[in-house]
Amino acid sequence: MNENLLVSIEEFEDTRKYWQEKLSGELNELNLQYDYKRTSEYRRGQKRLVFGKELSERILGVCKNQDLLLFMLSMAVMKVLLARYTGQNDIIISSPVYTTLEENYDYNKCIAFRDYIDDELSFKELLVNIRKTITEGYKNQHYPMENIFDHLEIQDLRPFLHRFIIYMENIHKSVDINDILDAPENHLTISIVRTGDGLEGSIFYNAALFREDTIERISKHYLNIFEQVMKDINIKLTNIELLSEDEKQRLTVNFNNTEASCRMNKTITMIFEEQVEKTPSHPAVILENEVITYHDLNERANQLARVLKEKGLKTEGIVAIMADYSIELIVGIMGIMKAGGAYLPIDPGYPSDRVNYMLEDANVDIILTHQSLASKISFKGETIYLDDSKLYNGDNANLKSPIQPENLAYVIYTSGSTGRPKGVMIEHRSLINFIDWRIKNYNFTPADRILQLISVSFDGFGANLYSAILSGGALVLPGLNRRGDFKFISGLIKGKNVTNMSVVPAMYRAILDNASEGDLKTLRMVVLAGERADSELIGLSRKIAGEILLINEYGPTENSITTTSLIGMKQDNVGVIGRPVADNKIFILDKRNRLVPEGVPGELCITGSSLSRGYLNNPELTTEKFVENPFADKSGSSYCQYMYKTGDIARWLSDGNIEYLGRKDFQVKIRGYRVELEEIEDAILKLENAKQTVVLDREDKSGNRYICAYVVSDERMDWEEMRESLSRKLPHYMVPSRFIQLENLPLTQNGKLDRKALPDPDDTSDTGALYKAPENETEKILAEIWSGVLNIEKIGIHNNFFDLGGNSMLLMQVNSRVEKHFPGCINITDLFEHTTICKLAKFIESKKTKKDNAAVIKYITFPEGYFSRDVQESSNTNLRFEVSGQLFNRLKEISTKEKVELNLVMLSLYITLLAKITQKNRVILHTAIDKKEHVYLVEADIEEVEDFSELIQLIDSYIKSMKGTCYTIDDILRMGVRKSDKDVFLMFCKNGHLTASRGLLDVYDVVLESNDEENRICFTCEYDAGRLKGDMIEHLISSYLKLAGVMVDHYEGES
């Protein structure tokens, strides 16, 4: 008979209605965790279920020896088991059709039985419900299941009809049973048989998906449930225990055997000061060519601490610090803690709205920053500039510490689901608990050099910082705007003999991609943290970097940086986050805070000595997230009385390691940053014309995670305008890379958002931008940079960087390349605001124009006697001289005393000499002593300077404050230089910082170049002999050397 004709017969109409109603609404596949990656391979495994005589008799007694009742009871137990294993309540299990002699339909091999498992029900109540489900299901078993699922628009029937099955040989067709057991789509089947001796059973499973020990646990738990419900048929489902006492002991004690001794009776500053005594002359921080020793770092931090105390800082007072990568940043952090305060790190790239919220929420009265960042801060409290040399003139002895281990060390703000970031409070003892463990287990020594590439606003910054300065090692910092230049970073690792670093996987991949042969040979280990690595990255590391030890660290900010560690990552264990670190304990729990079995997913919850104090000024959220620990030893430490619920889903593996599986909410990790998607949604909905939105994290073809926003609006949305608006409110890593406009958000049959139905960005995103080729030189340079980074050959000036597949990690690469062509013109935040080549080119040109206009009028006037009477054509002449012997040694001593490089001392001397020659207190010249090819304009007013020391500190402070205002030599050469007769344009540079044959004397009248050698400093003075008299330049050099002697005598007179 034709099947379509058959289903239209009236007798099947009621059956169809039954199934449509029974299977209506959202159907979710059971998320049973597998041991191996899903595969089409099928290898049948079998494990016997041993009921035992006593349990068999009790079961058969309850069932009154009726096979159908026994089947219903077995089905109920299986559903309870699967509900616990999956954390789901809507459970569908299938079974073969029920055998009757008079019926011979074969439309279905199996039918689906659906029940809702409510933990508040008693087992007896559940059994009644399941009995009804089975009775009605078999009454309607002959309606073709495929038709029902077609009607429900479900293409794949396997999750609901073939994967999880229970059967009894006595009531189900043997031919159907054999087909089921041989089907590759069958994952797990339970068989129950009533024999003359009682009950027998088996679990059949796909051995390509499950290990034998996993099935062994499932069988034990299945029988455990049977034991309990047979003792008390009215037991509440929530009170059924899956685990034996031995299993509980293994999960709570054996896997959490993490007791370790650490210096929790001390503070960070106390341990640091002890380290200073051990290694006073060792480098503590290295910033490219700038080095500060432990002794000097400690003294400067002490001086700053006293300033803070004079400003009224009290114990646990919160001081914000917003500074670029610099030695002052580390001085600031240590100074705050030495003064008794807690530091609040703020990334200079954060938008002002976010910065202001953090300052207000934390009740900050003092902020430490750099003078170059002053314009970014709108703050009514006290602003202290870390690059102000006057900060470091006071008493440099250690302070009597006002803090205890239980006092706050820092507050870090993380993304918040309410639409506002939240401040996490970390105490000294919690931080020390982790750092001590890290130093010991990763074998840190004073020989280590640790590269810092993590933002100061991310708690991972502390992992690198404290592992270095509390072990005697050196923290290596890249210079300003260099963190995204991965070619430079690879060379820095080699040049500074870096031994280890902690980075996010995407950053490590970029380093590997840009490394030349031998760049990474000094590395002994790399810690990957912040997001999941992939097996390809591990393989790439082995290929390029050899047998570097790779470590996977996991941990929320709320538990002092790191909670678990896997030492020795491999390609087949990238999801494994390792074991708990010292005095941390992990409990993996279901939604009712019950322990889940080994191998079963649950929420990862943390207790122990690293727990934070909670959220700043947010007791409600603290109470919600930091709950009473149900497994606390009441006689033990107070640290374990509370437990932090992370929201992360994980499972225990049989070897005591933990595998990370994902999130239970909408929090994600983007390049290591913790992001609450609801905070982005909240920001979008505050924009004009946005009616509805949903934000998801997606993965591109390269495996990189990015943020995609779906927006419902009645108006055509301008994505560039939306990005610019969001970048003023959110950090750059939270601004979506892709936007998609929808007429409506897709909904399920229950009216809930259907996330699975949201379109793929790759298929639907449309920028609406027509191609227009680059026209001017700046646009052409930018197009070439974008093409190289995005690997796209043809890019128009109106194409949006993010719509082309860009993300914040790639934008860092763009930033480093743009910096080489247009130094000092942009920062990473500017790139987020100007996301097309056209807009970025205009922005850069405006910055260049301002710089050119500022520089072209800056000259100095020499006395008339320096100029030739008969001006000739330009003629370049060189004079060479050197400073050596005792004079050199004494000048070196001065540079050490002033904590500056020798070149800065010599620059200060030159400025003093120029003031004497011109008889003016304002001296103007260009200098290139800090970065290769970077030129800075120095305008020094020395009217109120009383001695050489004050002058040196003034010039040092001035140059540091000008770090964002620099030029390339090409900028200088492009200027339209128009000088009057007595104007001269001067350059003081360090050898190698400007390429030799660049036509400098086409612009400059005198170029004084210094070259540091081991026991001397050599100078070359190149000047325009067509304008300037040679004897006067020789007199200038002679006066310069004499002035050096005067400086030395001045310092000796002081001592």
Q: What domains are there in the chain, each with its CATH number? A: 3-242 (3.30.559.30), 500-581 (3.40.50.980), 668-753 (3.30.300.30), 777-848 (1.10.1200.10), 860-1054 (3.30.559.30)
pLDDT of 636 higher than 70 = no
Which residues, 6+ apart, have CB-to-CB distance to 482 below 8 Å? 288, 488, 489, 492, 816
Give me the chain's average pLDDT, please: 85
692, β-bridge pairs? 712
Query: CA-to-CA distance for 870 and 867, rounded, in angstroms?
Result: 9
Per-residue confidence (pLDDT) for residue 149, from 0 to 100: 79
Candidates 164, 176, 179; CA nearest to 94 is: 164
Query: CA-to-CA distance for 665 and 650, rounded, in angstroms?
Result: 13
Per-residue confidence (pLDDT) for residue 635, from 0 to 100: 41
Per-residue confidence (pLDDT) for residue 1, from 0 to 100: 36
Cα dist. 178→50, 173, 460, 668, 992 in Å? 22, 9, 55, 45, 81
More confident residue, 170 or 366: 366
More confident residue, 983 or 424: 424
Q: What is the pLDDT of residues 847-896, one digit of tens each?
A: 766 555 544 446 788 888 888 876 555 566 788 888 888 899 899 889 88
Q: Is 257 exposed, middle or buried (0-12, 13-18, 19+ CB in 10 A)?
A: exposed
Per-residue confidence (pLDDT) for residue 978, from 0 to 100: 54
Per-residue confidence (pLDDT) for residue 848, from 0 to 100: 65
What's the mean pLDDT in 1017-1029?
87
Highest mean pLDDT among 485-499, 693-707, 860-874: 485-499
Q: What is the pLDDT of residues 171-187, one digit of tens each?
A: 776 666 777 777 778 88
Assign 931 a pLDDT band (cuts: 50, 70, 90). low
Number of H helices, E strands in the chain: 32, 41
pLDDT of 275 higher than 50 = yes
pLDDT of 786 higher than 60 = yes
Q: What is the pLDDT of residues 195-222, one digit of tens each?
A: 877 888 999 999 999 999 999 999 999 9
Cα dist. 848→815, 845, 968 in Å? 16, 5, 11
More confident residue, 66 or 160: 66
pLDDT of 223 higher than 70 = yes
Looking at the chain, the whole-number percentage of residues with pLDDT higher than 90 is 39
What's the mean pLDDT in 9-33?
81
Which of 41-50, 464-473, 625-634 is predicted least confidently? 625-634
Structural tokens at position 291: 């080095």
Q: What is the pLDDT of residues 650-698, one digit of tens each?
A: 999 999 999 998 887 666 666 656 788 888 888 898 888 888 888 888 8
Assign 128 a pLDDT band (cuts: 50, 70, 90). very high
Per-residue confidence (pLDDT) for residue 282, from 0 to 100: 95
For 486, phi and psi rounded to 5 degrees?
A: -75, -20
pLDDT of 976 higher than 70 = no
Per-residue confidence (pLDDT) for residue 417, from 0 to 100: 67
Per-residue confidence (pLDDT) for residue 422, from 0 to 100: 93
803-809 contact pairs (CB < 8 A, 24+): 803/719, 803/738, 803/765, 803/767, 803/769, 805/700, 806/737, 807/671, 807/700, 807/704, 807/706, 807/737, 808/670, 808/671, 808/732, 808/733, 808/737, 808/832, 809/506, 809/507, 809/510, 809/671, 809/704
Which of 758-772, 887-901, 1038-1052 is predicted least confidently? 758-772
What's the mean pLDDT in 746-755?
69
More confident residue, 802 or 947: 947
Per-residue confidence (pLDDT) for residue 7, from 0 to 100: 47
Assign 766 a pLDDT band (cuts: 50, 70, 90). very low
Which residues, 6+ apart, have CB-to-CB distance to 1048 below 8 Å? 887, 890, 891, 894
For 919, phi and psi rounded to 5 degrees?
A: 55, 40
Helix intervals (H) in 87-157: 123-139, 145-151
What's the mean pLDDT in 62-88?
90
What's the mean pLDDT in 99-104?
56
Q: What is the pLDDT of residues 154-167, one digit of tens each?
A: 777 676 777 788 88
Per-residue confidence (pLDDT) for residue 613, from 0 to 100: 94
Per-residue confidence (pLDDT) for residue 673, from 0 to 100: 66
Query: CA-to-CA distance for 894 and 335, rounded, in angstroms?
Result: 25
> How far, rounded to the nearest angstrom, does the alpha carbon of residue 478 sit from its chain's CA centroid?
18
Candidates 276, 208, 692; CA nearest to 472 is: 276
Looking at the chain, the whole-number percentage of residues with pLDDT higher than 70 is 88
Q: Is 897 exposed, middle or buried (0-12, 13-18, 19+ CB in 10 A)?
A: middle
What's the mean pLDDT in 20-41?
84
Which of 8-17, 725-734, 915-924 is predicted least confidently? 8-17
Structural tokens at position 725: 């608006």
Which of 143-147, 543-547, 763-767, 958-962 is predicted least confidently? 763-767
For 428, phi and psi rounded to 5 degrees?
A: -55, -45
Q: What is the pLDDT of residues 531-567, one digit of tens each?
A: 888 888 899 999 999 889 999 999 999 999 999 999 9
CA angle (232 as vertex; 226, 238 as ends), nearest 5: 75
Per-residue confidence (pLDDT) for residue 158, from 0 to 100: 72
Per-residue confidence (pLDDT) for residue 1051, from 0 to 100: 84
